A and B are shown apart, each in its own frame.
Chain A
Amino acid sequence: MYKYTDTSITDNPKLDKIAKDLLQPVGLNIRFHIWMGLLTLGLMACLYAYWIQLNEGLIVTGLRDHVSWGMYLANFVFFVAASLIGMLISGILGLLGQEWIKPIARIAEIIAVAFAAVAGMVIVSDMGRPDRLPYVFMYGRIQSPILWDVTVVTTYMVISLLLWFIPMIPDMAIAKSRMDHCPKWLSFVYNILSLKWTHHPEQYKILFKATRILFILVVPTAFAIHTVTSWLFAVNPRAGWDSTIFGPYFLTGAFVAGSAGLIMAMYFFRNNYRLKAYITTEHFNKMGKLLFLTGLIYLYFNINEYIVPGYKLKTADAIHLKELLTGHFAPLFWSVQIGGLIIPLILLLFKRFRQPGILTIIAVFVFIASWFKRYLIVVPTMEHPYLPKQFLPQEWMLYQPTLIETAITIAPFILVLMIITVLSKLFPVVPIWEMAELGEQHEAHETHPIDESSLSDETDIKSHSDE
């Protein structure tokens, strides 16, 4: 019925090997079930904590009238931030014609989809009346940044999902006949998702066009989601939030967090999915450089954000900065700034620290610091309102997250891990057809299409200047 045209993809002699390599981790083995079981158990415990919060009210958290936004909001900002990596890799680097991102682009999109999808749930956990969530759509007022946030986060999630799925359609067609080691229903799913793909050149033309439009769309959308998220704070007249650079400050911070997250995911898949030939040390080297670049820009915004108010020392800013730099937030502040930004930046200058193992360790530090950085943006400002906090119980003065609150904060991470696990276990995490195509292009240089050296800087630069 469908005529298979002779194309470079299906003719490619390397395709069989590449497809075998990349499809080999797909499927639900016993480790998958144990891992998902553990995640489910953890999630149940966290959901029990949420159940308590639903019944008792937000009194079970450390939040009170003065610090009324705390860990949940910091977590929300972090989730939106981490999801931006999809845009940075596919959107910006993709549009710039960077070929080396191809094997890791899908992983970046999986991270984007997972974090963006869960971000919405994080914000619901902060609501006093989650049952009234539909009111946001029924009575929504367009001048509230919350409406903007809801709109753009949803849009971004949809675009990311499309950017994950559309480039995967040819893979579904390639894989559907090679799924002997997988359950039957999975082949069935592949068959449906392949959308009767025949590898016709015309189809590829449409695919390239569609993804290109999405790449262009995803850039402003992603800029919008984190800029708007920063405005949840910046529109409020409070010391520490009352800043004009919050948009780019958040955005660059998001790239740092996302790059670190992607490096961690790359390391995991490379070692556990036996993808060393595809996610190479050179990819880590490049991601290390990317982390350095984003970190450097973030450092620049940090300098602006703290030095400028610090120079003027307006009363409220002075109180805020004093708390951060020498007050009870100081240990956290300096650990985050030095351990999570300055030391990683220095280390990343050296190639030796851009090797997979050590880079992943650095990424873990950066990732954790990125979370606490959001905590430092949200909480200290709320602890220091303009008017004094008086005639209140002592425990209302300072914010102390509770155990229940912590459990509810962990729940979204478990959900993200579940989504990433399912997406990466049911579908190949590295694009098969793009690898085959990449191999074809490098055929002239190398005998083996994809190995470490084929993705070095020189070839990259060359292929660009050719274009």
Chain B
Amino acid sequence: MSEESNNKVPDNRNQNEGRKSRRDFLKNVGLFGAATAAGAGAIYSGYKYEQNKGSSEMVRVLTEDNRLVMIPRDQIQTVTLDQDALQKRGREGLEGHRWVMVIDLAKCRNARKCVDACQSAHHLRPHEYHITTLVMKDAPNTAPYFMPKPCQHCDNPPCVSVCPVNATFKRQDGIVLIDNERCIGCRFCISACPYSARMFHWQEPVMADTYEEEQPDYDVELNVPQRKGTISKCLFSADLVRVGQLPYCVTACPNGVFYFGDENQDAVTNGTTKETVRLSQLLKQNAGYRLMPELGTKPRVYYLPPKNRLFDAPDEDMTGTQIQETV
């Protein structure tokens, strides 16, 4: 505004004026050039479009709201989601679903394949657990058993309540996620979680150098790239669930321990056998239970008791620590 008026008023105040109008001239030329190029581009693409019209074969694609439509193949553009889009869909979750996991303790022999698959998918070190297995013992005279322990994705999550900045949140499909672009690293959620399900990046994450080079976009559904000084946790593999696949740990299990599915559809699929069963039947027939129900956290992970086990009970000293009785 002021520049414009400066140009109009003839003056002899300083020689800045000349420089300024020269800059304006160059700017105008630039603008004109850009407009010309854009116009030419538009005409050219219009021409190309007209030329190709009808010649390209039609393909059927699914839209985001599950409608089947047809478009010409050459019209297909790959959508690259920027961080904002990833964040938005990650925080909303998948409408109409209530994801649920069932863990059959009778089948676990501590292969820890679930742990490995999870850690490689989420770029974690060997002691950084989203899921781990524990050796549990309910009473002095009962046999110990193995218990895989992911985040319980509680419906009344204490971790979400205490988060001061909305970094950890509960989605409509039941998954509790952590946004490490938001997390301030206060670790209140670690204190609040009775299942010790969360971990903290006390140091640079293991793949920090790779992140430095490639600068990948942050996907809140994968929590990669991981960040020093922030929380990380089990995500129910929200990135895989979005594309209709089973979580990393579920498919990695060689022994059929994990079932994963949708409570709304009352169906869960075993990750090893790929057999789909009724959730309600499975829980009813096997006396399914949840961890520490007395705390009122309402977990979305169910356990089937370790009866008729496929494998021997674990050794007492295999964890390197004394087996603590379940509380």
Contact = CB atoms under 8 A, between A and B. Distances in A.
A396 B125 CA distance: 14
Contacts, number: 151
A136 B184 contact: yes
A194 to B, nearest CB: 41
B141 to A, nearest CB: 16
A382 B198 CA distance: 13
A128 B230 contact: yes
Contacts of A65: 129, 190, 196, 198-200
A138 B166 CA distance: 10
B204 A387 contact: no
Given A128-B200, A139-B166, A386-B327, A232 B188 contact: yes
B183 A68 contact: no
B288 interface: no
A396 B321 CA distance: 12
Given A144-B163, A237-B194, A385-B196, A69 B292 contact: no
A44 interface: no
Given A135-B184, A136-B184, A139-B182, A58 B229 contact: yes
B164 A69 contact: no
B196 A144 contact: no
Interface in A64-99: 64-66, 68-69
Interface string B173-215: 0000000001111111011101110111111100000000000
Interface centre among A56, A65, A140 (most CB of B within 10 A): A65
B319 interface: yes
A183 interface: no
Contact of A133 (B136, B184, B196, B231): B184
Given A57-B202, A129-B230, A135-B184, A390 B164 contact: no
A147 interface: yes
B165 A391 contact: no
Contacts of A136: 164-165, 184
B7 to A, nearest CB: 41
A163 to B, nearest CB: 28
Interface in B123-159: 127, 129, 132-136, 149, 158
A59 interface: yes
B127 A392 contact: yes
A388 B136 contact: yes
A390 B161 CA distance: 27
B186 A127 contact: yes
Nearest to A54: B229
Interface in A194-209: none
B192 A235 contact: yes
B185 to A, nearest CB: 2
Contacts of A127: 184-186, 229
A128 B184 contact: yes
B191 A238 contact: yes
Interface residues of A, number: 49
A145 interface: yes
B165 A129 contact: no
Interface string A383-407: 0011111111110110000000000
Contacts of A64: 202
A320 to B, nearest CB: 10
B325 interface: yes
A140 B183 contact: no
Nearest to A394: B320
A389 B129 CA distance: 12
B165 A390 contact: no
Contacts of A299: none
Given A128-B201, A129-B185, A388-B135, A236 B228 contact: no
Contacts of A177: none
Contact of A128 (B182, B187, B326): B187
Contact of A141 (B158, B164, B202): B164
Contacts of A66: 196
A397 B321 contact: yes
A128 B191 contact: no
B202 A144 contact: no
Given A57-B203, A68-B187, A141 B196 contact: no
Interface string B245-257: 0000000000000
B120 interface: no
A126 interface: yes
Given A128-B184, A136-B164, 12 more contacts: A65-B199, A68-B190, A129-B227, A138-B165, A141-B164, A144-B161, A144-B163, A145-B188, A385-B194, A387-B149, A388-B134, A390-B320
Interface of B: 127, 129, 132-136, 149, 158, 161-166, 182-188, 190-192, 194-196, 198-204, 227-231, 292, 295, 297, 319-321, 323-327
26 contacts: A57-B204, A57-B228, A58-B229, A64-B202, A66-B196, A68-B200, A69-B190, A126-B187, A128-B201, A133-B184, A141-B164, A141-B165, A235-B158, A235-B161, A236-B192, A237-B194, A237-B295, A315-B327, A382-B191, A386-B292, A387-B195, A387-B326, A388-B136, A391-B134, A394-B320, A396-B127
